[in-house]
Every structure is written in C-alpha cells, then in structure tokens.
Chain A
C-alpha cells in the first residue's frame, strides 16, 4: 500500500508558540489531502480538505487562521498550529487520497502536547 510519513511523531511546546507538522507521501502523488484531529477516546474529526494547488476548505468550527494548511506539492502537506494553547493538545493525523479513488492513506500521526 501507499506510504505516508508524518513528522514529528511527538511534540511538546509551550503555550503561545507555533508548531509545524509535515506530512509526506513517499511513493505516490496525491491530489487530495485531509487533516484530522483526534482527542483521547474520541473519533477522528476532519479539520480541512484541500486539493493540490488550491486553498484548503476548513470544516465548521475550525479556525483557518489558527490552523494553517499548505498543500505545497503532490507529495507534501504541512499543518501549522499557530499560538498553540493547551486545548490544542491532540493527535493530528494527515491522509492523502488519489484522484478517482476512495481509499485514504493515513500518516502515523503527531501527538501534540501544549503546556
């Protein structure tokens, strides 16, 4: 199956700082990408969706100015959590989709802890 990497796997930061998470597809080019957030013992909640070359579409309740998404290329997407606060502590997971397909390929996730 398709391989997706995500970096870093864990990050601890102080409140008010910004954190960047990278998501890369290693063996395929993806037209669509998704960023999810998962709080403990909860489901994956979609934050935003984007196609390469276009701006991300954010889900209701997700602040686009706080969660900056850059779909830089067909193999790289980044999520920057700006001015992070303790309530942003969560498990962030990216995924890529292929044109014409349904299956999504997930990254291993990033555990963000904001002190």
Chain B
C-alpha cells in the first residue's frame, strides 16, 4: 500500500519567516495530494491540495509543489503568523472507487511571536 513520509516532525520559526514541510510517497499511482491543518482536539482542515497534473499551486501565503518523478511534495508557508501554529499533515490518495487517503506522520509547527 501507499506509504507517506513527512519531515520534519517539529518546526519552530519566527513570526514572519517561512516554513517548509516535505513529504514523500511510495505509490506512483497516487494522483491527489491534500494538506491538512489540525488544531488540538479538532478535525483536520484542508488548506490546499494539488493534483498530479499540476506542479505547483499557490493560495495567498500557502503554496504546494509536486515532483512526480521524485515522488515528493512540499508545503510552503510564507510570512508565518502565530495562528499558523498547529499540526500539519500531508496526504496522498490513489484514484479509484474508494479514494483512500494515506496521511503523513505530521509536523508540529510553532510560530514564535
């Protein structure tokens, strides 16, 4: 099955700096890569996603890049703010009737004011 690795597990940045989280996946059939933000005790919130026919996608301060050849994708958060502090999960989904999503191990981001 699909295996998604995520690094780093924890990340501390100064407010205003950029944060980068990296993930790799194992199944070349995966074609959908969402990123989720999860605050303590709450559900994951989709913050951005990318499909395999696109190399990069940006939404305001958040961007995601995908390298299909290397099976690698990254989340970039610019101009970080304290409210960005949370746990971030990458995920990969294989096409098919069930659209099963495999999550990465998570990155705890702390933005220091």
Residues of A with Cβ closer than 8 Å to B? 32, 34, 42-46, 49, 51, 57, 91, 93, 97, 101-104, 106-109, 111
Q: Judging by beta carbons under 8 Å apart, are B104 and A43 in contact?
A: yes
Q: For residue B100, which residue of chain A has the nearest CB?
A: A49
Q: Decide yes or no whether B8 CB sits under 8 A from chain A.
A: no
Which B residues, 84 to 113, have Cβ-Cβ distances below 8 Å to chain A?
89, 93, 97-106
Complex Cα distance A111/B102, Å?
A: 21
Residue pairs across A and B with CB atoms within 8 Å: the count is 51
Q: What is the interface of chain A mostly: helix, strand, loop, or mixed?
A: strand
Q: Judging by beta carbons under 8 Å apart, are A43 and B103 in contact?
A: yes
Contact with A along B38-69 (1 / 0, CB 8 A): 00011110100101000000000000000000
Looking at the complex, which one of B51, B102, B106 makes contact with A46 (CB distance below 8 Å)?
B102
Chain B residues positioned under 8 Å from A109 (CB to CB):
41-43
Q: Judging by beta carbons under 8 Å apart, are B97 and A42 in contact?
A: no
Contact residue range for chain B?
20 to 34
Q: Judging by beta carbons under 8 Å apart, are B49 and A103 in contact?
A: yes
Q: Judging by beta carbons under 8 Å apart, are A51 and B100 in contact?
A: no
Chain A residues positioned under 8 Å from B34 (CB to CB):
102-104
The 10 closest A-B pairs by CB, nearest first: A102-B32, A106-B43, A43-B103, A44-B103, A49-B98, A97-B99, A43-B106, A108-B43, A43-B105, A109-B43
If A107-B43, A109-B41, A109-B43 touch, does A102 touch B103 (CB 8 Å cutoff)?
Answer: no
